[in-house]
Amino acid sequence: MTSSQPPSSQPSSPPASVPAPDLAAVWSSARRLHPIYAEMAREFVIDVPGCADLEAHVDTPGRESVEQAQQWLNAMDDKIQVHQLRQFLQTSSLVDPDGLIALLQHFLAKAHSDSVRDKIDFLLVQYFSQGAPTDLDDNSADIAYVAQALEPVLGKVELKTPVWLNALDRVIDSSRRCRSLDELLHGGVLEQGRKAKTQAGDLFYLPIALVAFTRFGYLMRRAFFRLMLADLNNILDGLTELEEKGVATIDCRRAQFSAQEPIIRLRMICQSWKVMFQAEYSSGQPLRMLVDLRASVDGALGRGSGAKGAAAASAPAAPRAAAAAAGAKTAKPQASQTSTKVAAPNSVAPKPVAPSAAAPKAAAPNPAAKPKAKFAVANADVPDFEISAEPQEWNPDADSQPGKKK
């Protein structure tokens, strides 16, 4: 293809006719996916009548049982939303790399739709991220490297990239020029990436396009989290600077906190956010709070656009716990997350902790201690997290090994 962009509207054509399915292969796939889907049904309270022979682990079912199993999988696919798949895979130890391959093969064989496309997109990035070395730098993650890593899923891919896929590199370059999370979220960069995926239509499913979009998703996530961690570091540095000036509270109403929020509480909240969870790159409540908290700190220091925002803040703040609920209401905290450094990229990340839980009022500040906790932004991958106040799409792919959750 020679045009710089794919056609703006690609009709989704039905898959070509295929021979009758191999019943043994269908049953084998269904048995491999059943425990994953059954656990998601329990976790998200999805009401789909079960398949008795799948639940009984029957080895040699009849045709009717195989057809019922296929119908059950299809019904589950219709019910499971993309954000639920992301959330589950990033908090569960049930799905190993072989499980991801089984899921990918399942969705790659389905008729094309926006939901199927988005699930494939996430699963490919998840699979690549889990296998990528922690010291992989952006320049080394080129098309050839990603294609080789995806061979167990896609087979050998011809590395002839259509011109229209160059748009993804332009979006990646734009993300690298962003200097804050606010700039990335609201500067149109993420929208450009979504537009490229949407406009690809059925061309998205070309093997070389799947490789290119996997690389794109992986690099965008790294850019996203570098900026997120940089914002957290800037907030913590700003809080320390304010403490050194004798400031004890600041106006954080724009970030859904109080007009006189104690700095000690803000520091504890930031520490609870040091590694966040899951992600599609959509604007949402938890990330808006982070962006607005940085602006509030900048405003208290009298610098940047935050100074104007701090002077203009007048609306009463929503209750802090409610404001954080969009990102924390389904949180399942890990057993131990006490380090002030960011978790290694291949380890699980906890979901954001609600401010009210992260900073109990009874905690008394220690005037002799002014911790200057910072979050290391390494050349390593980090987990995604849900950042949407809507039904959660990633706050993802996570770029980490899933957590241990039974």
Q: What is the pTM of this model?
A: 0.70
86-125 pLDDT, tens digit per residue, is: 889 878 888 999 999 999 999 999 999 999 999 999 999 9
C-alpha 61/C-alpha 163 separation (Å) is 48
Residue scoring higher pLDDT (16 or 187): 187
Q: Is 50 left (phi over 0), alpha (psi -120 to 50) or beta?
A: beta
258-286 pLDDT, tens digit per residue, is: 999 999 999 988 887 765 544 444 445 66
- The SS3 of residue 349 is coil
Q: Is the pLDDT of residue 79 over 90?
A: yes
Phi then psi for residue 115, to 5 deg, are: -65, -45
218-227 pLDDT, tens digit per residue, is: 999 899 888 9
Please name the residue that has the structure tokens 């998200």: 44
Q: Helical H runs in 150-252?
A: 151-154, 166-177, 181-186, 189-200, 207-244
Alpha carbons within 13 angstroms on the beta-carbon side of residue 333 total 12
Q: Is the pLDDT of residue 323 over 50?
A: no
Tell me which range, 30-34, 49-53, 321-325, 398-402, is most confidently predicted by mean pLDDT. Answer: 30-34
C-alpha 276/C-alpha 135 separation (Å) is 20
Rounded mean pLDDT of the chain? 75
Domain ranges of the chain: 229-273+287-339+351-358
Residue 218's pLDDT is 94
Residue 303's pLDDT is 79
Q: Helical H runs in 245-305?
A: 263-272, 285-300
Residue 270's pLDDT is 86
Q: Is the pLDDT of residue 16 over 90?
A: no
Q: Is the pLDDT of residue 164 over 90?
A: yes
Give the whole-number percent of the chain exceeding pLDDT 70. Answer: 66
Q: Is the pLDDT of residue 322 over 60?
A: no
CB distance 80 to 106 below 8 Å = no
Residue 187's pLDDT is 87
Q: Is the pLDDT of residue 300 over 50?
A: yes
| Choice among 119-123, 211-215, 316-320 with the minimum mean pLDDT | 316-320
> 188-223 burial string, b = 16+ CB within 10 Å, else e?
ebbeebeebbebbbebbebbbbbbbbbbbbbbbbbb
CB distance 302 to 319 below 8 Å = no
Residue 307's pLDDT is 53
Residue scoring higher pLDDT (390 or 245): 245
